Amino acid sequence: MFGDLFEEDFSFVSNNQCGKGKKSKSKDTEPPAPREFTKLSGIKNQGGTCYLNSLLQTLHFTPEFREALFSLGPEELGSLENINKPDVKVRIIPLQLQRLFAQLLLLDQQAASTTDLTESFGWNSNEEMRQHDVQELNRILFSALETSLVGTSGHDLINRLYHGTVVNQIVCKECKNVSERQEDFLDLTVAVKDVSGLEDALWNMYVEEEYFENDNLYRCAACNKLVEASKSAKLRKLPPFLTVSLLRFNFDFEKCERYKETSCYTFPIRINLRPFCEQTQLEDSEYMYELFSVIIHKGGCYGGHYHVYIKDVDALGNWQLQEEESKLMTEEKVQKDTENIKEMENPLTILKGILSEEESKQIPVDQLGQKLLEKKGMSWNKKYRKQYGPIRKYLQNHSQIFRLSPDDNKVSLKEMYHQLQFGSDCQGQVLQSPSQNSDVQWTSESLCTVLKDSASGSHWFDLNDTKVQPIKEKDIEKQFQGKESAYMLFYRKSKLKRPSEAQANPRYRVPGHLLNEMDAANIELWKRRMDSDSADNNIDLRLHLGSHYKLYNGALHPSLSWKESVLDLTIDKRKTLGDLRQSIFQLLEFWEGDMILSTAKSLPAGLHLYQTLDGDEMTLGGIGLADGADVFVWNGKEVGGMEVLPGLHHEPVLLNVLRLAGYNEGGKGQHFIESQHVVPCSAELSTLWKALASPGGIILMNSSGSDKEVENWKVVPEEDMKKTVRIVGLTDGSSILVLDSHDQSLVNVASGNLTAFMHDISWLQVKNFCRLEAEEKQVKITATVETVMSDIKIKAIQELQLGEELVDDSCLRPINRNGKLLSPVPEDYTVKEAELKMGSLLGLCHGKAPTSTQLFLYFVVGSDLQGAPEMEIVVEETASVRECLNLMLEKFGLPGDNWHLRRIDWCYEAGEALSEEGARLKELNVCNGDTLVITEGKLPPKGFLKVPIWWYKPLIHFEQQESMQNQVNCMMGALRVSPAGDSPAYVQSDIGLCYAGDVEISGEAFLEDLKIQAMTLPFFQDLCVPSPEFLRAWTLEMNINWEAEQKSV
């Protein structure tokens, strides 16, 4: 049942967290919790070892057993370091018990582990998970210890502490011959069924006699015949520690099943065993026992849980009152204070106090009344006469306290009350007088005894595996009966007194090598807890640097790489916001000016700011910063020159916008192109409609996201247009379907629902742009994804009743939502290859469609792109930039070669220049449908910049006030410095700027070189500038209204 508990099998020994020479176990990432307020250690339950834990705690709180085990040194027991040496004897079980007891005494952890001890027993995981009977374990463990300690000075440890004897006697009624049989015991097993309590059971066992008579006679060996006799049992030898096992479990022979006796079974805290002993002439102390441990079983006969109530004999634990006791004591204190107040108002107390303060033993009664008036501010007649009568009569009624003179004119206190009032108790404390109604004869000696008794006595604890709680002694009575009731009782002789050195001293009698081991283990635990505490309180913050971010589409995005824009910072959350700010200042040595910290969150649209962190004295945990939080570091005003609106009200929402355009793989499945748009959650739907839908168009909303089911799409009604995005329920991932006016046949306007979906459409729309008289006419052409575009064109010409000559001089061009004609579709493409969606609108236009090796390009001339006409051209994709430019110039009718090409950027402005004129368009990733800008000016050589120079002319009032030296100290700058360097076309006259000319200079040149070269311009010939040192250079940035912004260089 208990594995190899009797065998000294060394292979099962392993290392615990503070042991040596044992196989290592994996350490938990978290250190064990320290002891709780009781300062006592529990024991971990390995799965079913609560019975073992209860017994081990009982042995541990038996100091005589614990110290006897500690007295056995390595010279007798060996050392676990020599466990693998075959020629060295190592007694594993006592060594493991020593270590466990040392841990329970000294190791600062909430619960110790018994894994190493049970492994020394030879138990496997099945034994640890299976619950056994604690009474049987007690006998087996003692037997195993005795076997293990053979040959040592502790060989009689169990016998010395727990061994007792019982003598059974049979007395012949005729010859008086006594027949004896002596039995040894380590514990007494007593009945529970039909017995009221322990004393009743002991009486039945060791006082009551059994008689042999009538048909049940005894054969006397002396008489050699059957005779009448009496049988009895007595306790012959009492052990220092008496263990009592209660037979709670019985067998019902009628039902053929086991059951647990839950009836009331009392047992005393103190018991006198004299009536049950053979010898009764010894001193009382030899028979008096005190209860110090109660092992309790909760459950039934087939399973349950064990825990133990233990008396802390050495006062090792910290016993604190529980809440209900604290409440009771508070109530008692209030009651006592109330009684003290009443006592202070008691005339008996007041008069005794006045007389006790008098130097003379007697004072006149009238003078006593006067002193009462002085002390209380009220005379006797006014305060007490109505209730107690005249003062002289009151003194006569209390003659046991007051002594009146024969003429009743003087009064004094009797001698014993003087002594009682001023005498001190054995602790040097002043004793208060007893109540006048007390019948007890109070003396200083009796009071001392009462005080001592109330302060004496150890406290009780409930040790329930890892949990240790203080309890009151009267709580033991709760374990007399019920499913949770006492199962084993442990008594110790009352005469066993503990030395004062052992009180509250867990290091008492612990061997030196175990003290050192536990001290080292506590240091290691402290270090681990410090590291764990630091790890538990450290939080990782992501610092987003405002100088490395830009704002577009309503959210913040890194302008550099993530590594350059975001810094990781680990900090203790118990530090203050001021400490965080200081740490960031140390990280960012380049930071200047105010530093504002705001909480941020990464949203699908980008990074958004929420709350500004204020209160430098508050802790990071107190302001809500958690591990992994995002903190934005900025000046609190703008990012990249643009104002940032923080807060929940301005949170950006990323919406999926779907349109009836384009084509997606999957045949007739999905026929959308999707784009993502970011809008503030506070934006009104009317703003969204104006931005996305063409005039006459409508918007359908789907809050469920990308779900394309027809019933989930709802038309936004007119009355909802004033509502915000958040109010109507649009969140990140919600979808918007935008339908132009010609697509509204898909919507039932009356119900606001989508009536058909894209997979139901198998036609294309073609609109005539070839003849003005038929311009508004459009037709639907039935098609599939594999229909060739040339066939669609021929069908459209026939449906529109146009001439056949257009077959060779026309093309099909998709129309976007703004009505713009896009690049023509190659006629040899299928609908799928042309990336068209069923239901798309096409325009039939003059001109041949480009082949698959040609590019259809748009181009404009000049810098005013919004007002300039957009022209079209078809070129080979293998053409060079110069060849493409010449064709465009020829088509537009521009002479000369002082021109170059630029791309259109996302703001529809002239962007990057195509500087490599010999490169092919295909190599530069110029795509079909791109727009290029013809810009005046020849590109400088590679590696050079063309810099327009402006001269700053001081205003008149400056000329009158400033010296000539300051007038010469003027400004010069560069406008839109780029490899192309456009020639300026505007003079900023209101701030005194004059165009001086252009300078071509190497990109590697210094500012001094730029000044020298600028002085060679004809504009500077009439200026008195002695040297470049007299010039100050500024950069000029022109906004959309051509207002100059000056920056010093």
* Catalytic positions, written as ranges: 50, 305
Per the listing, tokens 């040894």 go with 184
Read off the tokens for 426. 């054995």
Strands (E), 742-788: 747-748, 753-754, 763-768, 778-782
Half-sphere exposure of 762 (CA within 13 A, CB side): 8
Q: Is-contact 902 914, C-beta < 8 A?
A: yes
Residues constituting the chain: 1049
Task: Please give the structure tokens belonging to residue 484.
Answer: 């949770």
465, 242 in Cβ contact below 8 A? Answer: no
Beta bridge partners of 188: 244
DSSP 1029: G
> What distance in Å separates the CA atoms of residue 694 and residue 661, rounded to the nearest whole number?
14
Phi, psi of 440 (to 5 degrees): -80, 140
Which residues are 191's β-sheet partners? Answer: 247
Which residue has 């008086």 as its token pair? 176
Six token digits for residue 560:
């550099």
Closest CA to 713 of 694, 681, 738, 695: 738
| Phi then psi dihedrals of residue 12, to 5 deg | -95, 0
Q: CB–CB of 693/747 below 8 Å?
A: no
E-state strands within 914-1043: 931-936, 944-952, 970-974, 993-1002, 1031-1038
SS3 (DSSP) at 692: helix
Question: With 0-12 CB in 10 A as exposed, 13-18 as middle and 19+ as buried, what is 1029?
Answer: exposed
Cα–Cα dist 67/194, whole Å:
40
Give the three-class secondary structure for 187.
coil
CA distance 12 to 22: 9
Nearest to 774 by CA among 744, 741, 807, 796: 796
Are the C-beta atoms of residues 459 and 394 closer than 8 Å to each other?
no
Residue with token string 């009392």: 266
Tokens 């322990």 — which residue?
A: 198
φ, ψ for residue 525 (rounded to 5)? -65, -40
- Identify the three-state secondary structure at position 479: helix
Cβ contact 421:401 at 8 Å: no
Tokens 């709350």 identify what position? 611
User: 632: Cβ–Cβ under 8 A, 6 or more apart, which residues?
Assistant: 544, 546, 549, 556, 597, 598, 599, 600, 607, 609
Q: Is 299 helix (H, G, I), strand (E, B) or coil?
A: strand
